[in-house]
């Protein structure tokens, strides 16, 4: 069943069109990576889904129920973690989650149970400090707990890892990975490594449009170029080999390595081995390399 | 209803933990104690610095002076402190983005406005009437034999003006993104009524009379009947301002 449907969604701020006629359907049980540069409109798109901003044109549906601007009932299905979550600094994490639970209308006993469960999940169960004393990582973990407190069908996370150190990032990604079976996750990020690690499906937002969408492995296959990396023991060997290369493919020379773009992988491999024999140069390694999501992203964004 | 209670609890916690409640209580208590004390001892203090003939011309202080001082203190300093404390109530939350999470949890925007208004009006009411009790006690203590007529009416007028001012401040909270702009707006509201009061024909409709005529009511110069239209206008204005505050806040985009 589709959890989110965008139909010709458009959003402009004055003459500046941030979202340009996007249509998309997201199925339940996925981790969906919304990827784009800073300022590409990811946060705007999320706020449109949450009914915090009015759309210029088009419709949004959550579980077939239309989102409306202002107060939208569809938010009962959604948990939201803003990019910079703002809390009441004078409260403790427990008090804040109790307030969130009360606003969603949970009975007190259920509220207490859930608050304790989610504080435990995000590793803040024993923390009695006020939020003003929290680190960024702790605030993000609290953000995930508050977003999950109403057990939403859709969790929207706006760049949850962008301001965190590697340990904090891993903690957040692990939590998101662990809840995948209960909640569909939309993860907005410009850290492509994060998306590569946990997303099943991605959309690349560029110039207001989804320029790439779909399953991550399919995207990698579709947009990948065959590249062979040949590494020599010394830089001189790499230079000698480079001079004698018989083809015009794009070659990147990095110290004692050459990265060669191959139109026909098998044929290029044969040529490389022959040349090695002919020159009596034996590389330390020859490997086929996959382009990263970063490279695909840069390629498409150009 | 549950949401409203949750927000009222949150506001109370905020006012308590950020010491706003303590500051307000302290200022109001000082004003309440100072009113009878200033009335009682000011002539003696002034006599220390002025020539004897002038000092002897001062009338003997009375309970009326104590209440005149009370109205002066609370209509000026008291309401100014209220304006300062409540001028950023919603502005701060909009600028900090603290409402975003709660709104995505299904919180109605109207509940935010209602809870903030109700809380501000409750705080004003509680603090004001505590202050009144303190002044009443000291005034009774120093002038036990003096009866002050129409006191309840005069004191209720200033309380009603406080409620109106809070409604205006909350309205400014949804109109502006800066606390200073809101304070300016509140000052403008009061200023306009000062200008209106220049014209004698507006006497029966001038809302400012609720805050400025306390001592004249005590002297019997005005009766409740003179205020009939002002009561209707004040209560009507509070309800109308609340309504448009909610309507405007419902349409504001939250970033």
* Cβ atoms B252, B92 nearer than 8 A: no
Place of tokens 């903030």: B116
Please report which residue ranges of A88-215 form alpha helices under DSSP H: 93-103, 108-121, 136-148, 166-178, 192-198
% of chain B exceeding 70 in pLDDT: 99
Place of tokens 């709660």: B102
Contacts of B101 in chain A (CB under 8 A): 80, 82, 85-87, 100, 143, 146
The CA distance from A129 to B98, in Å, is 19
pLDDT at B252: 81
Q: Provide CB contacts within 8 A for A87, sequence distance 6+.
A: A96, A131, A139, A142, B98, B101
Query: Tokens for A53?
Result: 């901003």
Residue matched to tokens 């390694």:
A285
Say what the pLDDT of residue A248 is.
Answer: 66
Residue A261 has phi, psi (to 5 degrees) of -85, 125
- Please give the pLDDT value at position A9: 95
Task: Give the model confidence (pLDDT) of A238-265 as tens digits.
Answer: 888 888 887 666 788 888 888 888 777 7
* Binary contact (A75, B104; C-beta < 8 A): yes
Are A215 and A208 within 8 A, CB to CB?
no
**pLDDT tens per residue across span A25-61:** 999 888 999 988 888 899 899 999 988 888 999 999 9
The residues facing A227 across adjacent strands are A261, A289
Instruction: Note whether B125 and B20 are within 8 A (CB).
Output: no
Q: Tell whether B95 is within 8 A of chain A (Cβ).
A: no
Residue matched to tokens 């001012």: B165
Residue bearing the bigger pLDDT, A300 or A125 = A125
A106-154 pLDDT, tens per residue?
A: 899 999 999 999 999 888 888 889 999 999 889 988 998 999 898 899 9
**Which two structure tokens, joined as six digits, stand for A28?**
């339940």
Structure tokens given for B206: 């001038």
Which DSSP category does A130 fall into? Answer: B
Structure tokens at B36: 């009878």
> Across the beta sheet with A65-66, what order do the strands follow?
A16-27, A2-13, A57-62, A65-66
- Dihedral, CA of residue A26, residue A77, residue B174 and residue A145, to nearest 10: -100
Name, in order, each residue with C-beta under 8 angstroms of A126's C-beta and a sequence gap of 6 or more: none
The b-or-e profile of A102-123 (16+ CB within 10 A means b, else e) is bbbebeeeebeebbeebbebbe
Q: Quote the pTM value.
A: 0.80
Nearest C-alpha neighbor of B222 from the set B231, B233, B213: B213
pLDDT the model gives residue A301: 66
What ipTM score was computed for the predicted complex, to two decimals?
A: 0.87
Q: Across all residues in chain A, what is the average pLDDT?
A: 87
pLDDT over 70 at A302, yes or no: no
Does A85 sit within 8 Å of B101, measured CB to CB? yes
Q: Which of B9, B13, B105 sits opposite A100 (nearest CB)?
A: B105
Instruction: Give the tens place of pLDDT for each residue, A218-228.
Output: 777 777 677 88
Compute how many other C-beta atoms are within 10 angstroms of the C-beta atom of residue A165: 12
For the segment A87-104, what is each residue's pLDDT rounded down to a tens digit? Answer: 999 999 999 999 999 998
pLDDT number for residue B255: 66
Query: What was the pLDDT predicted at A86?
Result: 92
Nearest CA distance, B239 vs chain A (angstrom): 22
> Is B50's Cβ below 8 Å from some Cβ in A?
no
The verdict on a CB contact (< 8 Å) between A53 and B17 is no
Low-confidence ranges of chain B (pLDDT < 70): 255
From B237, B245, B240, B167, select the one nearest B205 (Cα to Cα).
B237
Q: Quick check: B77 contacting A, CB < 8 Å? A: no
pLDDT in tens, A149-193: 988 999 999 988 887 788 888 888 888 888 888 899 999 988 878
State the best of B3, B11, B18, B105 to mutate against chain A, taking most chain A CBs within 10 Å: B105
């Amino acid at each position: 069943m589709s959890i989110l449907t965008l139909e010709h969604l458009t959003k402009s701020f004055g003459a500046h069109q941030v979202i340009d006629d996007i249509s998309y359907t997201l199925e339940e049980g996925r981790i969906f990576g919304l990827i784009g540069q800073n300022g590409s409109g990811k946060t705007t798109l999320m706020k449109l889904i949450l009914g915090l901003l009015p759309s210029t044109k088009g419709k949004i549906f959550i579980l077939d129920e239309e989102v409306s601007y202002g107060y939208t009932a569809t938010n009962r299905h959604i948990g939201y973690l803003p990019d910079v979550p703002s809390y009441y600094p004078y409260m403790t994490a427990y008090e804040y989650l109790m307030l969130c639970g009360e606003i969603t209308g949970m009975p007190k006993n259920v509220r207490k149970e859930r608050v304790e469960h989610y504080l435990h999940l995000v590793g803040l169960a024993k923390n009695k400090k006020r939020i003003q004393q929290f680190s960024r990582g702790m605030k993000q973990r609290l953000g995930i707990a508050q977003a999950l407190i109403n057990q939403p069908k859709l969790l929207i996370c706006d760049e949850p890892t962008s301001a965190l150190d590697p340990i904090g990032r891993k903690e957040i990604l692990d939590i998101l990975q662990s809840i995948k079976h209960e909640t569909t996750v939309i993860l907005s990020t410009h850290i492509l490594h994060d998306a590569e690690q946990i997303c099943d499906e991605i959309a690349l937002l560029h110039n207001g449009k989804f320029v790439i969408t779909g399953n991550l492995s399919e995207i990698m296959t579709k947009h990948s170029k065959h590249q062979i990396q040949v590494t020599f023991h010394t830089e001189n060997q790499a230079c000698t080999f480079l001079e004698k290369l018989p083809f015009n493919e794009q070659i990147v020379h990095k110290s004692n390595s050459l990265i060669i773009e191959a139109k026909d992988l098998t044929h290029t491999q044969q040529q490389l081995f022959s040349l090695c024999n002919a020159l009596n140069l034996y590389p330390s390694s020859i490997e086929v390399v996959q382009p990263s999501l970063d490279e695909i992203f840069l390629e498409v964004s150009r | 209803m549950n949401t409203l209670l949750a927000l009222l609890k949150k506001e109370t916690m905020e006012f308590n933990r950020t010491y706003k409640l303590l500051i307000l209580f302290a200022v109001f208590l000082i004003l309440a104690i100072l009113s009878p004390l200033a009335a009682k001892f000011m002539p003696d203090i002034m006599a220390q610095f002025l020539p004897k003939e002038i000092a002897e011309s001062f009338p003997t202080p009375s309970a009326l002076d104590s209440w005149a001082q009370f109205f002066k203190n609370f209509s000026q300093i008291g309401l100014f402190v209220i304006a300062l404390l409540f001028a950023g109530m919603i502005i701060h939350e909009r600028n900090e983005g603290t409402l975003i999470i709660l709104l995505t949890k299904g919180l109605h925007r109207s509940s935010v406005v209602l809870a903030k208004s109700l809380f501000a009006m409750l705080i004003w009411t509680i603090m004001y009437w505590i202050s009144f009790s303190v002044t009443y006690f000291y005034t009774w203590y120093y002038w036990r034999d003096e009866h002050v007529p129409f006191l309840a009416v005069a004191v209720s007028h200033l309380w009603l003006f406080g409620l109106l001012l809070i409604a205006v401040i909350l309205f400014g909270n949804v109109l502006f993104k800066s606390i200073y702009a809101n304070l300016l707006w509140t000052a403008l509201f009061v200023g306009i009524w000062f200008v209106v009061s220049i014209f004698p024909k507006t006497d029966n409709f001038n809302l400012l009379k609720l805050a400025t005529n306390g001592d004249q009511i005590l002297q019997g110069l005005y009766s409740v009947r003179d205020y009939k239209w002002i009561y209707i206008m004040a209560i009507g204005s509070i309800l109308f301002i609340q309504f448009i505050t909610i309507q405007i806040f419902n349409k504001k985009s939250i970033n």
